[in-house]
Chains A and B, each alone.
Chain A
Amino acid sequence: MSPLEKGFLLLAVVKMIAVFSMVMVGVALLTLMERKVAGWMQNRPGPNRVGPMGILQPAADGIKNFIKEETRPVSANSFLFLLAPALSFIPAVMLIAVIPLAAPLPVDFDTVLPLIGRVAYHGLMPIAVADLPIGFVFILAFSSLGVYGIALAGWSSNSKYSLIGGLRASAQLISYEVAMGLSLIPLLLISGNASFSDIIARQQQGLWFIMPLFLSFFVFLISGFAETNRLPFDLPEAESELVAGYHAEYSAMKFSLFMIAEYAHIVTVAAMVATLFFGGWDIPFTHWDERGGLLQTIVTHGFFFAKMFFWIFFVMWIRWTLPRFRYDQLMAVGWKILLPLSLGYIMVIAIAIQVIEHGFGWTDPRAEGLSLFVLNLVLGWLVFWVLDSGRVVRGIAPRARSAAASGRGN
């Protein structure tokens, strides 16, 4: 193996370990953050007993989950029962691997390490575990694997609540997978590439995709919520209906794996929203971040983190605000609104790009982005007007205010 190959592998391993530990520690802290956010919204302090301001709460929870008894229903299918948490956990953690976390770092070394020998690396190192040219497809493929873990968990537990949860999860995840995939096609149409670095580069040249592709963002965000199995889409584990749904029979660390998977999904969805629609690590209104260097890498990572953090917060905010959908409403939203919307949107964007680039001949990304933004303002207004006036989903439009409470006075 040549020194360059060794250098590449060495850096890949280092990045892998770093990103994996970041995700795991991040997930642990997210559980604390969630409880703090919930406390904040509900006028209560949240966890504050373990360590200063409850900062050690995740550690306490982790230890508790490790030392708890592992129970298994006697009639569960033991192999699948064991496999399911792993199947749920692994894809969730894998997803973050292809997302660029910061501007590429110029690395230049040529040295001899003990045991390994001579290692060398010259050039820009992408700050992602694997900057795959098909990053996009990778994400779609792996996020759809998550459904197996949940469906198998629901089925193998041999419990009715779990079974219903598993069935709901399969239907929900598959439906929203479709809308999620389709909502991202317009991005590919504009950027012309499935690699995340290129999508970010395109957003740096033009506008952040939130502006020219607002409806994509809208559909993606909703499908993302559905993918994370959280309120208002937490039907598979709907506490008040199915007790805990697909993980009702799980205890201790196996249960923890499901929780970690859920939070890892939140991280991934937030990271994807930040990357795909908010320019990833891009710092707006400056080209300083594109020059490369250690400082740029650190600062851009800070920016990426801030964007991601906002969306993580947003996910929690929604969770503690909204009630839960019903099963048929969930399906209606997925198949009757999001799917046609994203399909139609692909057509509109494809035609619009054709007209803008070849009809008007505006090939400058910024001009193209702005004209699409104007188109989106019109489309967005139209779509929300239709959705809001109750023409699509029956029963969702609130009744006239005078309906109830027509008082009978003295």
Chain B
Amino acid sequence: MTPRTIEMELSTPTLDARGQVRNVPLGVSRRPSESVNDDFGAEHMLVNIGPQHPATHGVLRLVVELEGEAVKRVIPHIGYLHSGFEKLGEYRFYNQIIPLTDRTDYLSPMANNVAFALAAEALMGIEITERCRLLRVIACEMSRIISHLVWAGTTGIDLGAFTPFLWMFEQRERIYNLQEAWTGARLTTSVSRIGGMMADVPDGWEAGLQEFVRTFPLTLREVDTMFTRNAIWCGRTQGVGVMSAEDAINYSLSGPMLRASGVAYDVRKDRPYLGYDEFDFDVPVGEHGDIYDRYRVRLEEMHQSVRILDQALAKLKPGPINVADPRISLPPKSRSMSDMEAMIFHFKQVMEGISPPVGEVYFGVENPKGELGYYLVSDGTAKPARWRIRPPSFLNLAALPKLCDGALLSDVIAINASVDIVMGEIDR
């Protein structure tokens, strides 16, 4: 074999005389390899994990530079699911934006719906009714549970434990059934409206949720049995992907990622909305900032969500779900078909939307994945001049290269799972 020159290395590789791509020599680090796309012979190997890969949670693409199994560099590439939600929102009435929020963090659609409604109401200065408030709390906590269930399940799969995933999905299905009973949709719920909810819960729904609240902790206990003291699980998660409290704040992490690092920041406690300060619940905080603590924090948060659901159900009294102002809430269908004034309000709202005063608002809520913020700028028309989302996954994902410092290939998968990303929200 003659030594190859730099020119040959840089030249475009071609097929040989028989039309075959030439074969790859293995383990020859000095000589550039001879195949089409290779760094096989190079000292470091670039591996694409994603956008089509079993463990990228959507269409995240990680370009990983490997030296053997050790990871030298991780570069996340995003944008494969870009839908332009924020721009689309500028051409929609406020109520019409709500369906877009379903599709950002599609693992907790109800929480997004509620968050958007809250932001718009803050902009317009609307006070919601008591029943609406409690229903929104219920919607948020249900979302937190399903989102964390998906997280724990898929992280289990990424670490090789398949079975608990299905146990958790069985529970998630129960919440989906409740969501379906309430809104008619399992995933694209669009449950909230400016100044109220899209519908009240159907008869018997509360009993169904009560039953869930009663039996769901049993599954959590089973998952706890499978993971928490499992030697392999501990070995794979403890001390992996460590983030100190200081770094976590500097990387602007939020949600369980931040709390696992020991920072007790929870929007529900620190800037209470929906009357979360009335509820009795704890904010679990980790101390090592590794995957294991993130797991423990999320598991505990599910227990806390169950507590909140229980209290919210106890407080839930019959009453109106929409504000009485007919310029904000659509009148009931029966009235708009029979009553002249109601029909006018219906027409005005559908055709012209609701116009907030000129101004801007940032409203942050504690979504399952972290602090979800909606920033709205109003120029006085019925459509927002600007709508920006602060997606928790996006900011959490930005810390991935830092988290993967000194990790092995398997750790990258585990760390990526522990961040709990959802690409709909990152690419928007």
Contacts and interface: CB of A to CB of B under 8 A. Distances in A.
A287 interface: no
A407 B282 contact: yes
A404 B233 contact: no
Nearest to B279: A410
B54 A240 contact: yes
B283 A321 contact: no
A77 B23 contact: yes
A266 B161 CA distance: 19
Contact of B160 (A322, A393, A396): A322
Given A240-B55, A404-B292, A324 B159 contact: yes
Contact of A42 (B167, B227, B408): B167
Given A75-B35, A234-B160, A323-B161, A396 B231 contact: yes
Given A238-B410, A325-B232, A395-B239, A403 B45 contact: no
A324 B157 CA distance: 9
Contact of B234 (A44, A75, A322, A395): A395
A408 B157 contact: no
A147 to B, nearest CB: 16
A243 B282 CA distance: 39
Interface string B24-55: 10100000000110001000010100000111
B229 interface: yes
Nearest to A410: B280
B283 A407 contact: yes
A399 B235 CA distance: 11
Interface stretch (A120-128, A157-165, A303-311, A367-375): A157-165
B288 interface: yes
A134 interface: no
B160 A407 contact: no
Interface stretch (B1-9, B293-301, B394-402): B293-301
A397 B160 contact: no
Tell me the interface secondary structure of chain A in the complex: loop
A322 B230 CA distance: 8
A404 B160 contact: no
Nearest to A77: B23
A65 to B, nearest CB: 21
A160 B408 CA distance: 16
Bin the interface of chain A by size: 35 or more
Q: Which of A75, A161, A405 has the most B CB atoms < 10 Å from its CB?
A: A405
B3 to A, nearest CB: 23
Chain A CB within 10 Å, residue with most, of B23, B69, B159, B410:
B410
B166 A43 contact: yes
Interface stretch (A7-15, A54-62, A187-195, A326-334): A326-334
Interface in B285-312: 285-288, 292-293, 296-297, 299-300
A327 B232 contact: no
A336 to B, nearest CB: 13
B163 A320 contact: yes
Contacts of B157: 240
Contacts of B228: 398
B174 interface: no
Interface residues of B, number: 62
A406 B163 CA distance: 28
B249 interface: no
A241 B282 contact: no
A360 to B, nearest CB: 39
B166 A44 contact: yes
Contact of A324 (B20, B160, B229): B160
A155 interface: yes
A74 interface: yes
Contacts of A168: 69
B413 A240 contact: yes
Contacts of A38: 162-163
Interface in A147-184: 155, 158, 160-161, 163-164, 168
A158 B283 CA distance: 50
B260 interface: yes
Contacts of A235: 410
A146 interface: no
Contacts of B73: none
A359 interface: no
A323 B160 contact: yes
A232 B160 contact: yes
Nearest to A235: B410
Contact of A41 (B35, B53, B66, B163): B163
A243 B53 contact: yes
A267 B87 CA distance: 59
Nearest to A163: B40
Given A74-B20, A234-B160, A322-B161, 19 more contacts: A158-B24, A160-B47, A168-B69, A238-B410, A239-B54, A322-B232, A324-B160, A325-B232, A326-B235, A327-B69, A329-B235, A393-B231, A395-B234, A399-B238, A399-B292, A406-B284, A406-B287, A407-B282, A408-B283
5 contacts: A75-B23, A158-B23, A240-B157, A323-B236, A408-B283
